Amino acid sequence: MFDSLKERFENIFANLRGKGKLTEEDINIALREVRRALLEADVNFKVVKDVVEAIRTRATGRQVVESVTPSQLIFTIVYEELVRIMGDAPVPLAVSPKPPTVYMMVGLQGSGKTTTSVKIARRMLKGHKPLVVACDLRRPAAVDQLRVLAEKAGVPFFGPEPGERDAVAVAKKSRAFAESRLCDLIILDTAGRLQLDDELMCELEEMKSASEPTEILLVVDSMTGQEAVNVADAFNKRLGLTGVVLTKLDGDARGGPALAVRAAAGVPIKLAGCGEKTEDLELFDARRMAQRIIGM
Amino acid sequence: FSDDPVTDDFWDELEESLILGDVGVDTTEELITELKRIMVERRITKRGELKAEFAGLLVSRLEAVPKMGAPLDLSAKPSVIIMIGVNGSGKTTTSGKLASQLKGEGKRVIMAAADTFRAAAIEQLKAWGGRAGVRVVAQAPESDPAAVVYDSIMAAKASGADVIIADTAGRLHTKSNLMEELSKIARVIKREIPEGPAEVLIVLDAVTGQNGFIQAETFAKAMPVTGVVLTKFDNTSKGGIVIAIADRLKMPIRYVGLGEGVDDLQLFEPKTFVETLLDVRDAE
Ligand SMILES: Nc1nc2c(ncn2[C@@H]2O[C@H](COP(=O)(O)OP(=O)(O)OP(=O)(O)O)[C@@H](O)[C@H]2O)c(=O)[nH]1
Ligand SMILES: Nc1nc2c(ncn2[C@@H]2O[C@H](COP(=O)(O)OP(=O)(O)OP(=O)(O)O)[C@@H](O)[C@H]2O)c(=O)[nH]1
Ligand SMILES: [K+]
Ligand SMILES: [Mg+2]
Ligand SMILES: [Mg+2]
């Protein structure tokens, strides 16, 4: 299970070496392996279809067919296509020309929103004065979690009054607090929710209109399977995402959701979480991600 | 329709629904080959019949694994249940739900806050202890998780408790130092209770893709896993990776998590699971 694409290619093309020109059938065999590898990397079924067709078009070109190293060439085409889909250059977080800049973190339960809120705040300490705001009033101890992480990272924190149940109200109040502390960047940590939970999705819509976020960032666990497309699509339709953060890349998940999310929501993946500590955040690198997906 | 003949479309749709359900390419291909064999052998010509046959095939595969969907074995006193899994999968929440359920069955339950690492993990478990009306044994943040588990065993022995539920920190299976920490917890338990932990449950988010298999395989090397809890099954994701986990690792699925409330935990039912899985296309 889970051989890298490179290993598979070496196996296939070893048999073809010295055979002269590639036939269409040879290319089909190679593409079947590409398809398998992408599916095993959790790239969405429908996205895989499109990617494989794009690769087929390029791989049936004369250059490949007559090449003495077809394996290498097809491999390069696969790599380039993946990079193209995920977006070439890293896209930085937007900063509002009219402060405060507001980021809203959204996503499924347990994807990494709270941790990532503090990671981003910490990263923005250079040049900004960020404030993290606990708008998850549902999960037990979610407010404490954000407070503890913020304290450790040296980031100002704003949370609800005891007994407060309205997350939108907390988001609204955080603005005045930010102003009083001269914070120019507000990061709203929201409760995890399923994309099909209408009531909770409404809450996010209200929070959006109340706080006019500069960025609405979907936080996606890199271990997510085929469902990543539906999640990204649903959150995007309801809220209009501006970017994605892919988390838990310090593990060995191949990271197919990177392609899927990008294809479904059309927004850039901006950041990559690569550990539990608040310094473990990197700019998303499409090239490294493509290498990881195909096991280079 | 169910009386329609079996065409190529049938196979394409089946493949698509299985892969979209996170069953994985290998398992999907293997299942389809098996179904084709059955179709020829039993001379099945109608889609409906073949689909029903396939559901039956999946259910019997799952049921072939011992303890599939079986309640926990809590005959030892005290019985230690350990929750393990990657970050954010639902261990703490499931600990709370289980504590409440077992208490409802008349068991005396203690929870051990053996996640001493994640910010406010202890408070989170204590909140669940409050909901379930169950005592939580804890130490300060950053303390040794194995020591917390040891304390909880002492507390259980002293108070005559029946069950200990130990919530551990989320960890990626690739981190060998953190996996070693689990082995250490297992050793501490064995020293006090020679039979070892009664149940070791790996908690798996239903939204997980192919990585779920490697998680199950690797965690089982650090601790003798006795079952899987499939959480967040209230979402549209199908959790199909558990088929490979059951089939190849012989690991039973014991429970499903169906929400964030204290009562949202049920025994795993292969039939319900398979019905949900095979409805992928109809749900769209
Ligand atoms: N290894 C690793 N763990 C991470 C990363 N990001 C977050 N985590 C962990 O994942 C778990 C969940 O993270 P949270 O930040 O609590 O996730 P959340 O989305 O806020 O969760 P809810 O509020 O319950 O929906 C925690 O154990 C975090 O420490 C990462 O990049 N790598
Ligand atoms: N919808 C739904 N959410 C769940 C379920 N189980 C857990 N959650 C949510 O998932 C998120 C993570 O759950 P936790 O219990 O904190 O997960 P954990 O494995 O203890 O996380 P770490 O300790 O950080 O590794 C929380 O927001 C829970 O409320 C479930 O069955 N359904
Ligand atoms: K489901
Ligand atoms: Mg959170
Ligand atoms: Mg936990």
Closest-approach residue (CA) in chain B for A33 = B25
Predicted confidence at residue A63, as pLDDT, reads 72
Q: Are B208 and B231 in contact (CB under 8 A)?
A: no
Return the structure tokens found at B276: 């949900």
Phi, psi of A106 (to 5 degrees): -130, 160
B64: confidence class by pLDDT, cuts 50, 70, 90 = very high
Nearest CA to ligand 2 atom 29: B260
* Ligand 5 centroid, distance to B115 Cα (angstroms): 7
For B240-281, write each residue's pLDDT tens digit.
999 999 999 999 999 999 999 999 999 999 999 999 999 844
Residue A62 has a CB neighbour count (10 Å cut-off) of: 8
Comparing A23 with B98, the larger pLDDT belongs to B98
Q: Is residue B98 over pLDDT 90? A: yes
Q: Which residue has a Cα nearest atom 6 of ligand 1?
A: A112
Question: At how many degrees (to 10) do helices A45-59 and A24-40 cross?
Answer: 150
pLDDT digits (tens, 9 = 90+) for B158-169: 999 999 999 999
pLDDT value of position A74: 83
Q: How far apart are CA A140 and CA B250, in angstroms?
A: 34
ipTM of the complex: 0.97
- In the sheet with B79-84, reading across from the earlier edge strand, the strands are B135-137, B109-114, B163-168, B79-84, B199-205, B227-231, B253-257, B265-267
Band of pLDDT at residue B284, cut at 50, 70 and 90? very low
pLDDT, residue A59, reads 82
CA B40 to CA A173: how far, in whole Å? Answer: 68
Quote the minimal CA–CA distance from A272 to chain B in Å: 16
User: Smallest Cβ distance to B174: which of A146, A228, A252?
Assistant: A252
pLDDT of residue A1: 43
Put simply, the answer to whether A40 touches B212 (Cβ < 8 Å) is no
- pLDDT for residue A22: 73
Q: Using CA atoms, how far apart are residues B225 and B239, in angstroms rounded to an integer?
A: 19
Average confidence score pLDDT of chain B: 96
Label residue B177 exposed, middle or buried (CB < 10 Å: 0-12, 13-18, 19+): exposed
Residue type, B241: I
Output the furthest CA–CA distance in chain B (Å, rounded): 67
Which one is predicted more confidently, B18 or A74?
Answer: B18
Q: What is the pLDDT at residue A43?
A: 96
Q: What pLDDT score was predicted for residue A3?
A: 67
Chains A & B: contacts with CB separation below 8 Å: 138
Asked if the peptide bond before residue A100 counts as cis, ω within 30 degrees of 0, the response is yes
The stretch B186-193 carries a mean pLDDT of 96
- Residues facing A251 on adjacent strands: none
CA pair distance B214, B210, nearest whole angstrom? 8
Q: Is B16 on the interface with A (CB under 8 A)?
A: yes
Chain B contacts in chain A segment 35-54 (CB below 8 A): 36, 39-42, 44-45
**0.95 cut: is pTM over it?**
yes
pLDDT number for residue A75: 84
B68-82 per-position pLDDT tens digit: 999 999 999 999 999
Q: Which amino acid is at A178?
A: A
Cα–Cα distances in angstroms (integers) from residue B189 to residues A217, B82, B116, in the given order: 43, 10, 17
Query: In this predicted structure, what is the pLDDT of residue A15?
Result: 65
* Cβ neighbours of residue A270 closer than 8 Å, sequence gap 6 or more: A90, A91, A92, A93, A217, A243, A244, A245, A283, A284
Q: With 70 as the cut, is the pLDDT of residue B282 above it?
A: no
The per-residue pLDDT string of chain A (296 residues; one tens digit each, 9 = 90 and over) reads 456 777 777 777 776 655 566 778 888 888 998 999 999 999 999 999 999 999 899 888 767 667 767 777 888 899 999 999 999 888 999 999 999 999 999 999 999 999 999 999 999 999 999 999 999 999 999 999 999 999 999 999 999 999 999 999 999 999 999 999 999 999 999 999 999 999 999 999 999 999 999 999 999 999 999 999 999 999 999 999 999 999 999 999 999 999 999 999 999 999 999 999 999 999 999 999 999 998 87
Task: Give pLDDT tens digits for B104-116.
Answer: 999 999 999 999 9
Torsion angle of alpha carbons A264, A265, A266, A270, nearest 10°? -120
Asked if pLDDT for residue B17 goes beyond 80, the answer is yes
Residues in chain A within 8 Å Cβ distance of B208:
223-225
Instruction: Give mean pLDDT, residues B111-122.
Output: 98
Residues 6+ apart with CB under 8 A from A178: A100, A131, A158, A184, A186
- Would strands B253-257 and B265-267 be described as parallel, antiparallel, or unpaired? antiparallel
pLDDT for res A88 = 80
In Å, how far from its chain's centre is CA A285? Answer: 11
Q: Whose CA is nearest to atom 27 of ligand 2?
A: A109
Task: Give the pLDDT confidence score for residue A2 in this predicted structure.
Answer: 53
Q: Which of residues 210-239 of A touch B (CB under 8 A)?
A: 221, 223-228, 230-231
